[in-house]
Amino acid sequence: MDETVDERPVRRTGIARHPITPILLPVPIVCFVGALITDLAYDSSGGNLQWVNFSSWLLAAGLFFAGVVVLLMVIDFVRLPQLRSTDGWACFALLIAAWAVELINSFVHARDGWTAVVPLGLILSTIGALQIVVVGLLWHETRYEEERP
């Protein structure tokens, strides 16, 4: 108990020794993949506008939580140099790219009518969903690589 601040190990940003990033990262993954699914439902339903509303809300929630995850990753990158590996930077860059694609997708979904989703919104949803799934896989691998002895 006589540890000084310098002797304590630096941990990831978290609550009660549980890192927050792995807790929050699934939220944008589910939201962006869900937006792709609702876009596909819109396309197959013949243009039921309720699916566009679902997609818009999923995109908004995904963008918010992905932004929080980006902020937490920046804090962790500054505090923990071991996270700055090739996989860590690839994960971070891909998350930023997915966020940017889905932001543009959100603007596309704000348009009115059939062109709000087909074809550009569907293409952007597919690209963003694939990117965020790869981010989840990379972050999972990066996280467990550090914890292995």
149 lies in some domain: no
- Give the chain's largest Cα–Cα span: 68
Please state the pTM of the whole predicted model.
0.86
117 lies in some domain: yes
pLDDT, tens only, 47-84: 898 999 999 999 999 999 999 999 999 998 888 887 77
Tell me the two tokens of residue 58: 């999923």
148 lies in some domain: no
Domain tally, the chain: 1
Our measurement of the distance from residue 16's CA atom to the centroid of its chain's CA atoms, rounded to an integer in Å, reads 23
Tell me the two tokens of residue 12: 């990831």
pLDDT, tens only, 120-141: 999 999 999 999 999 999 887 7
Q: Which domain holds residue 133?
A: 20-143
Our measurement of the distance from residue 19's CA atom to the centroid of its chain's CA atoms, rounded to an integer in Å, reads 16
3 lies in some domain: no
107 lies in some domain: yes
Question: Which three-class secondary structure state does DSSP give residue 100?
Answer: helix
2 lies in some domain: no
Number of residues that this document lists for the chain: 149
